[in-house]
Structure 1
Amino acid sequence: MLFKNFKEGVLEVLFPKVCTVCGLKLTSNENFVCNLCLNEKFEEASREGKTASSDIMLPEGISLQHALWNFDKGGHLQDLLHQLKYQRLIGVGEDLGRQLGKSLLANPFFTERIKNNKVGLLPVPLHKKKRRMRGYNQAFHIAKGVAEVINLPVIEQEAVIRNKNTSTQTGFSLEKRRKNISGAFQVQKYEAIENSVCIIIDDVFTTGATTFELASELKEAGCKEIMIATVAQA
């Protein structure tokens, strides 16, 4: 034990843990992003008293669209989300998820809607080929962070699957996005969805094409109410 503590101390001196955003040394209760950056570095997206943080009209069945921050193209947030998605820094996702969870708890509309209901967090599913290639689903790790804060279960990943391996939608028009994602999701375990409030979790909300398509499938499967929560909105 003494040797282990000594080894850890030496490693901490030689290779200190630093914030992924600002590069400053992290404290013992910080993980990948320091509290200063989490609380002050990014622009808040959600507006008090609003059921949508974007200006997009929500389809029937979706009661809330909540984003933590506004996307900063070419900025620190884009870099963080890129590291989460492509560089296997899943701990970043959990840090961001915890911050998203705190933001949701500060939204009175959200807290009111989850009272006395069966509620589950649903990460937007990845197609099995993409998940196998990447090794993980980034939305799942964001959902894990959210779950730590608001004490709600993450719906098992096989309950709803993505059965269409869609191409990236970056640069697509809204119409092309809708065609690209149409029919992409399938509910496999109805008992996980029926008569429940499902909170769809994702990294970025852009046009809503993906989450709205998923919400449509959930509604058909008997979901009682649907909310969308993302780290960023573009």
Structure 2
Amino acid sequence: MTSSFEKANLENKQVSSDAMLPEGVYLQHALWNFDKGGYLQELLHALKYQRLKGLGIEMGKVLGKDVLENSFLSLDNQTILVPVPLHPKKRRMRGYNQARFIAKGVSEVTGIRICDQEDVLRIKNTSSQTGFTLAKRRKNIDQAFLVRNKEIFQQAECILVDDVFTTGATTFELAKSLIESGAKKTMIITVAQA
């Protein structure tokens, strides 16, 4: 089922703000706007490809402080951070999942627990989505995630954590998997938005 946001993007039309996020996703928040060719892109590439785990943690701390200052969170024991998982093959090639280190920084500041790496898996080894249209991104990422430990997500508020939010195809698909597995609602927080 295509949301009004996705239809509007596919048709290059404007859409009202209440239709911007799919059902179950109540907030999407990014710390900074992504500047192609700029310093932030250099930092994010260093985080992803030079294994600068400490940079991810520091970015996560700044993101966590920003989220707390803007009162986006309900800090209860039903809130859980969910780093967007990488496929095992990509994680082996890269050496780690940068979203998990961003989530560690967020957790240090907020005290919110992070789900275990095996609780949510990326089971579909997708192509890089750079340059894809929204329709191609959605097809590429369709059914890419498996929620293995459904018990911890029952009635939980899941905060999806990633480095960059572009069209939302990946995070929206992950949110859909979590909602179908019993999560009450999801929100998306990222370091940057392209």
1:65 matched to which residue of 2? Answer: 28
Per-residue deviation, 1:142: 0.2
CA RMSD for the aligned pairs? 1.5
Shift of 1:131: 0.7
| Greater radius of gyration (CA) | 1
The structural deviation recorded for 1:215 is: 0.4
Higher fraction of strand: 2
Aligned with 1:204 (options 158, 164, 170)? 164
Secondary structure of the residue that 1:202 maps to in structure 2?
A: strand
Q: Show CA shifts across 1:6-25 (max 9, x none).
A: xxxxxxxxxxxxxxxxxxxx
Correspondences of 1:1-234 after superposition (within 5 Å): 57-108=20-71, 110-111=72-73, 114-116=74-76, 118-234=78-194
Report the Cα distance in structure 1 between the residues aligned to 2:169 and 2:160, rounded to whole angstroms: 13
| Residue identity matched to 1:222 | G
CA distance in 2, matches of 1:166, 1:83: 22
Distance 1:101 1:128, change over 3 A: same
Higher relative contact order (CA 8 A, sep 6+): 2
Identity of aligned residues (%): 64
Q: Cα distance 1:122–1:224, how it changes in 2: closer, same or farther (>3 A)?
A: same
> How many residues get paired?
178
Q: Deviations over 1:66-110 (max 9, x none)?
A: 1000001100100000000001111110110000001100113x1
Structure 2: give runs of 5+ residues left out of the alignment: 1-16
TM-score, with structure 1 as normaliser = 0.74
Task: Show the counterpart of 1:9.
Answer: none
Matched residue type, 1:206:
T
Q: Is the 8 A contact 1:147 1:153 kept in 2?
A: yes
Query: Runs of 4+ in structure 1 displaced over 2 angstroms?
Result: none
